[in-house]
Structure 1
């Protein structure tokens, strides 16, 4: 019996496992041969992104010391040796480069090293000679990219720097065993983020941790570069015995600062488009048809007799005794017989000030230009006195510039209304960081620590004559006012108490009977006894002392006359008892344990000096000087204005009048600002306060006088600059009334004598001072019995 054989399947069916799409309808099993495709190639490997390069620098250990001290000692209670500081400075200079300060790279490196040291060692002293610090830096070096610590490098707080022996008893050397990549301690919510925030909040509970006093001799000296239009740090070290050329540079820099500030003012900027188009592009929403002003150099007046010009220069007294105006190109005699100040009774005009003068030039052909050098050391044009005279129509102060315009950091509304951005946002004027580099961080910290419902006051008192018993009684009244009751559950203490001289009513150490060195020290011992009666207040605040002209040492040879500014602090040999009183108060209040906040401290600073909080967030300029008396003695007296002066007023004069009507708030803060019509109805004290405020802020200088009127140390005159404008300014003037005035965003205050019985008003048994709220930016004059 024959058996049928089943036909074999084609070889294609054996090779191709794909079945027929429709075998029931008689379609062939494989009508089309399968297409052979080329194998898929793997994509080429992506080239790794080039690592950002860092240009190494040579960082001196002394420059890094303040930041290292704040990180290691203040925050982590560690002590750095000189060898450890040298190692950290070399490492940061090599790895972080020039951005170690501006970009905050060094602070993060120091923070990482400090926490790693505490994890790996229990020693309080950080030594640089051992293997521990070298191992930490070696491990950290492999985790840095472009000067920053790479977040994905596995540097968590719990596991990154484990230099102890492993669990199996073997020494791991540099890095311990890292956790797997999917663990929560490597990425995301690791100790690198959580623990930082917790420790930062624990450390920053006291706003006084972010307050710093900058002395006049510690401020960096910046020189304005006219070509590149920015500030450069001086390469020469300031000296008390500088070269004669530095005297000319002093006034030259003052002129450059005011001149560049005016050129960036909208009134002095030439329009780019036509008048109609520029009116439509006005961001403020108002149509402006005023003519653009142009400042004419004095040397360009030659050959333009009878024409009207607007000049910017310094008021000087010529050798013949006449008033003249000088700029970088030359000098011209002034005729202010028919001129009027802008505004009336609103500012002072004295020799040494840089002012705007609008008028007409009259050339004197019979008196050619002389060859005498100008006051500013003219560098262009004629460079000497120009023949003829300039008949002035009006004289005005240069318009001031707000701090937000100079540095930025203002509100969004002010940024939208401004045609340009901040002029010097990256410039570090006080050595505390620039607005662009640290402004955002400091604003966040300030909003976290300065609660809107609380008060954070800085108390300021002046003329603390310790040799007069009534002054010590007034000081007790001040200290008693800010000492909370024992039953208060939430006591509030001032951030700082600024006490300004003169600390003696007589010139000490000048041979005056009863004002020798022994008596001078006994006066401060009496002050220490008063402070010892208020231990709670002393242990919770910062005491800041600013000297006056009657204090040691300058009064020993000046006899109480004006001494060159800036001047150093009171010598420590007279103030040891006060330092011990503060130490005893801290020991009594805080005990041997760690303080919950910053302990009380005493700071003896220079005159003038700066008090900053949260870096560039706020700045308080402090000056003890009789400025108003000097202005009354040297200012120019103008003739009474005529009734028809307003009708024929030139365009430049109209601009000066418009610029001068800046709203000015006077204490109390809720008082509405007054206009020009109400200016005449104000009392003399208010007019003096407003005029003093407008003069100093417009001049951007604390002493706009010639050196013969107010001597200055040439190389340290930059410490008296008010550019950018500070948040607040304290001018302790004995003869000026006590006031609080706010102009262009700067609060200007004068506390007057602390003892009202010896000052204006003659009110017995009352103490007077000024307090400034840092959070709200409001100052007020207080008087208590």
Structure 2
């Protein structure tokens, strides 16, 4: 294609979309598009303009820097479609974003070194970020979002400072805050504007496990500095589709791409072509027990003719209590697992083996996020099993356009123990899923119950909601869903009749499975 014609076509296409190209930007694109034929040129130009539209440009004049960034994004997207369809994201690599209330958009947080032992400001910021996220999700829900349609009843959330500043009785009030117990037996509600004491003597509770540290909506009346709660419930959970309508193509899940992968047509095609392949999730894989290895051999034997995308193994990987030689024991038993995997060439070649550590595995404290197993323990295994990935707890997995969050923690057990009101009706698993999705957080518990590194609390967020959350709890195996997000628990493989969960990303089907005698 002639240089002059190519330049004119590029410039015209940008003008049709409301952009003006600088001369150096147009010259750069001519150099990039010159080797392409007519069909490829049209396709790539359309992709490029889509990426430019998703950038936050201050004017309609497109600078060279923005064009170069869009070209890199297009190239990266193509490479991912061809190679990187399976990606494991460490909790320490999850991107951090700040909400800008002026433009009502999320922006990448300034890059800085975060320490595992940050100062006290990081702890305060943890709660501010959680409240800010849930507040904006709630305010854009149809029940709380103002509109010109008067036919539907709307609700208003009052900040706590509004209640504290009133000298008269207020009725039919809805407020939102952090559910906390500042004194034994005395509950309070906190938001960034103040703290108010709660009277829970006549309170009814909606669906969910209402533990301390959860952010709740309280409905009732206020008098004499006490809020008398008639009802307490969780903020409404937001589906991923609604979230992405506000977020656009912003990638908040993590990974190399700046753009979210949901709309990547090449990855969607790859997913359709592999619609029958599955992922296998096992928890409490005690490698020091012979029966566990025998059952694992049965599983490998059954799947070897059609290898899964990945086996996700969650700890703890030893049945014994932590001892001084725990690391050496685990290293030895990982060698036995490598021997077993090596006897199935198909699995060795085509399946990934992802290891998510339990909190009793060596050699880290009982704090989330938990780093991967030490290199000294895993190096022999990695030499023999090239597709092994040792990652953090929790971690994130992206397969094509599917987003999965994995965490090994007895979180449901702890929520049940710490809830202020244990549900007497409904399915407990549905209460659990509602709690996680409404809180947009994997671990909405007091830090004294479930310690978290303050600077990496954003890795526990669930926003936008993924396709699947897998929680390795020692309770029995279950699957449920809420807000179009599936929640599953494989249960303890060693203690729960060798149960596991199989997930088919192509059809979004979750199956509870068991290896019988």
In 1, Cα distance between equivalents of 2:183 and 2:507: 50
Which secondary structure does the structure 2 equivalent of 1:307 belong to?
A: strand
Higher relative contact order (CA 8 A, sep 6+): 2
Say which of 743, 752, 770 aligns to 2:491: 752
Give per-residue Cα distances to partners, 1:667-709, cap 9 Å, x unaligned.
xxxxxxxxxxxx65xxxxxx22111111111100011012111
Residues 622-637 of structure 1 mapped to structure 2, 5 A cutoff: 622-637=406-421
Say which of 463, 467, 475 aligns to 2:296: 475
In 1, Cα distance between equivalents of 2:211 and 2:378: 39
Query: CA 1:405/1:320 → structure 2, altered by over 3 Å: closer, same or farther?
Result: same
Deviation at 1:638, TM superposition (A): 6.7
Which secondary structure does the structure 1 equivalent of 2:382 belong to?
A: helix
Aligned to 1:212: 87
Which secondary structure does the structure 1 equivalent of 2:247 belong to?
A: coil
Residues 49-448 of structure 1 mapped to structure 2, 5 A cutoff: 52-53=21-22, 97-98=65-66, 100-101=68-69, 103=70, 105-106=71-72, 204=82, 209-235=84-110, 236-273=112-149, 275=150, 289-301=151-163, 302-319=166-183, 321-343=185-207, 347-363=208-224, 388-407=225-244, 422-429=245-252, 430-433=254-257, 439-440=262-263, 442-448=264-270
Aligned to 1:675: none
Query: CA 1:570/1:348 → structure 2, altered by over 3 Å: closer, same or farther?
Result: same
Deviation at 1:320, TM superposition (A): 5.2
Q: 1:456, 1:494 within 8 Å by CA — same for their partners in 2?
A: yes
In 1, Cα distance between equivalents of 2:359 and 2:209: 24
Aligned to 2:46: none
TM-score by length of 2: 0.83
Residues 524-563 of structure 1 mapped to structure 2, 5 A cutoff: 524-554=334-364, 558=365, 563=366
Give per-residue Cα distances to partners, 1:513-554, cap 9 Å, x unaligned.
xx5332232121222222122222121111100000111111
Q: 1:611, 1:619 within 8 Å by CA — same for their partners in 2?
A: yes
In 1, Cα distance between equivalents of 2:180 and 2:509: 37
In 1, Cα distance between equivalents of 2:205 and 2:23: 56
Query: CA 1:214/1:540 → structure 2, altered by over 3 Å: closer, same or farther?
Result: same
In 1, Cα distance between equivalents of 2:23 and 2:445: 47
Matched, 1:618 2:402: yes
In 2, Cα distance between equivalents of 1:107 and 1:232: 18
Residues 478-493 of structure 1 mapped to structure 2, 5 A cutoff: 478-484=299-305, 492-493=306-307
Q: 1:493, 1:540 within 8 Å by CA — same for their partners in 2?
A: yes
In 2, Cα distance between equivalents of 1:315 and 1:295: 16
Aligned to 1:721: 461
In 2, Cα distance between equivalents of 1:639 and 1:552: 36
Which secondary structure does the structure 1 equivalent of 2:288 belong to?
A: coil
Say which of 370, 373, 396 aligns to 1:570: 373
Aligned to 1:780: 511
Give the CA RMSD over aligned residues.
Answer: 2.7
Deviation at 1:250, TM superposition (A): 0.3
In 2, Cα distance between equivalents of 1:705 and 1:317: 12
In 2, Cα distance between equivalents of 1:496 and 1:448: 16
Deviation at 1:293, TM superposition (A): 0.3
Query: CA 1:620/1:108 → structure 2, altered by over 3 Å: closer, same or farther?
Result: closer
Which secondary structure does the structure 1 equivalent of 2:452 belong to?
A: coil
Query: CA 1:251/1:449 → structure 2, altered by over 3 Å: closer, same or farther?
Result: closer
Query: CA 1:255/1:110 → structure 2, altered by over 3 Å: closer, same or farther?
Result: closer
Gaps of 5+ in 2: 1-7, 26-62
Q: 2:209, 2:419 within 8 Å by CA — same for their partners in 1?
A: yes
Query: CA 1:54/1:221 → structure 2, altered by over 3 Å: closer, same or farther?
Result: farther
Aligned to 2:440: 700
Query: CA 1:448/1:241 → structure 2, altered by over 3 Å: closer, same or farther?
Result: closer
Q: 1:754, 1:769 within 8 Å by CA — same for their partners in 2?
A: yes
Aligned to 1:171: none
In 2, Cα distance between equivalents of 1:54 and 1:607: 49
Q: 1:337, 1:639 within 8 Å by CA — same for their partners in 2?
A: no
Aligned to 1:464: 285
Query: CA 1:779/1:361 → structure 2, altered by over 3 Å: closer, same or farther?
Result: same
Q: 1:524, 1:578 within 8 Å by CA — same for their partners in 2?
A: yes
Q: 2:179, 2:212 within 8 Å by CA — same for their partners in 1?
A: yes
Which secondary structure does the structure 1 equivalent of 2:98 belong to?
A: strand
In 1, Cα distance between equivalents of 2:489 and 2:209: 17
Aligned to 1:664: none
In 2, Cα distance between equivalents of 1:110 and 1:241: 35
Which has the higher Rg, Structure 1 or Structure 2? 1
TM-score by length of 1: 0.56
In 2, Cα distance between equivalents of 1:109 and 1:631: 45
In 2, Cα distance between equivalents of 1:451 and 1:394: 49
Deviation at 1:637, TM superposition (A): 2.5
Aligned to 1:593: none
Query: CA 1:348/1:100 → structure 2, altered by over 3 Å: closer, same or farther?
Result: farther
Which secondary structure does the structure 1 equivalent of 2:188 belong to?
A: strand
Say which of 477, 480, 489 aligns to 1:738: 477
How many residues are aligned here?
461
Gaps of 5+ in 1: 1-45, 57-94, 112-195, 276-288, 364-387, 408-421, 485-491, 584-600, 641-678, 681-686
Which secondary structure does the structure 1 equivalent of 2:210 belong to?
A: coil
Say which of 602, 609, 613 aligns to 2:395: 609
Structure ranking higher in strand proportion? 2
Q: 1:475, 1:754 within 8 Å by CA — same for their partners in 2?
A: no
Aligned to 1:505: 319
